[in-house]
Amino acid sequence: MELAITNLSKTYPNGVQALQNVSLTIQTGMFGLLGPNGAGKSTLMRTLATLQEADSGTVTFDNVDVLRDKDTVRKMLGYLPQEFGVYPRVTAEKLLDHLAVLKGITAKGERKDLVDSLLEKTNLLESRKKRLGGYSGGMKQRFGIAQALLADPKLIIVDEPTAGLDPAERNRFHNLLSELGEQAVVILSTHIVDDVKELCTDMAIINRGKILMNGNPLEAIDALEGKIWEKRMPKDELKDTKEALNVISDKLIAGQPNVHVYSDVDPGNGFHAVVPDLEDVYFAHIFGSIVNPVSL
């Protein structure tokens, strides 16, 4: 299976260019789309989910025109939006059964087997008769995945699925997504770098509607070898350092900024080379003034 996005663009009436000639080819497996809030991630996800029109460009999924043949796409699609609402007074079992009817699964016995199977897969079977209003955030997210898996989708889109989850719920969610990626195209849209590092074999970084990098996370990390430099410094040195060097990130450790700089050569002044990670890849492309997009 392959999702092919070519020169996709979208400008809103207020003049914001949410997507600018976005082109990506996504194969079966887990694909991570990284970007800050407002980067264009949700616009792209809504367009792929047939909920929003593009101004120009093409999208095909297994030779189906996603932008024109929406009914066909929806039969193959599972979608978990960033904001997933539930009916708080309805049980998980009843709501999932209702959604299965809307998906065209009308045989009662088949529907029951499917609902039980999905609730078991998402570790909600024991809570199936509990009202959704009493579910935790992680349980609601897992219910969201359960509804997205109705009708055995071949294209699964999840938008910021782990935001706000505690570590245990996040791990359970990661395991579930990894399993789904074995048999479908799964697109994970997020601003959480660790989600992509732990789950995805292919990724892209988007900002201001443009793809800045597209490739394998490990290869992207290798491309920064010898180019990331680190130093802890007093706070009063940070401003001058940012003016003089290509600072891609700084975070406080024991009250002092720990600064990462992107540079092809040793910046001196006490900086030392460090082994880069995916967070460095992300910040180097978002804030590091890398001139040419990386395609690996």
Tell me the C-alpha to C-alpha distance, in Å, between residue 222 and each of 197, 226, 243, 259, 288: 14, 9, 27, 20, 16
pTM (2 decimals)?
A: 0.85
Question: Is 159 within 8 Å of 81 (Cβ atoms)?
Answer: yes
In tens, the pLDDT along 230-272 reads 999 999 999 999 999 999 999 999 889 999 999 999 999 999 9
* pLDDT given at position 295: 37
* pLDDT given at position 266: 95
* pLDDT given at position 264: 93
* pLDDT given at position 293: 39
User: What are the structural domain ranges in the chain?
Assistant: 2-215, 225-288
* pLDDT given at position 58: 96
Residues of the chain with pLDDT under 50: 291-296
Nearest Cα neighbor of 48 from 179, 169, 154, 195 is: 154
Question: Is 289 within 8 Å of 261 (Cβ atoms)?
Answer: no
* pLDDT given at position 288: 64
Give me the architecture of the 2-215 domain, per CATH. Answer: 3-Layer(aba) Sandwich (3.40)
Residue type, 161: P
Q: Which residues contact 8 (CB under 8 A, 6 or more apart)?
A: 19, 21, 22, 23, 44, 47, 54, 56, 57, 58, 59
Collapsing DSSP to helix, strand or coil, 249 comes out as: strand
Sheet holding 77-80, edge to edge: 77-80, 155-159, 185-190, 29-34, 202-207, 210-215, 294-295
Residue that is written with structure tokens 């898996």 in the block: 149
* pLDDT given at position 2: 94
Nearest Cα neighbor of 29 from 168, 183, 165 is: 183
Tell me the C-alpha to C-alpha distance, in Å, between residue 283 and each of 110, 234, 272: 48, 22, 18
Phi–psi pair at 57, nearest 5 degrees: 105, 175
Distance from C-alpha of 182 to C-alpha of 50, rounded to nearest angstrom = 24
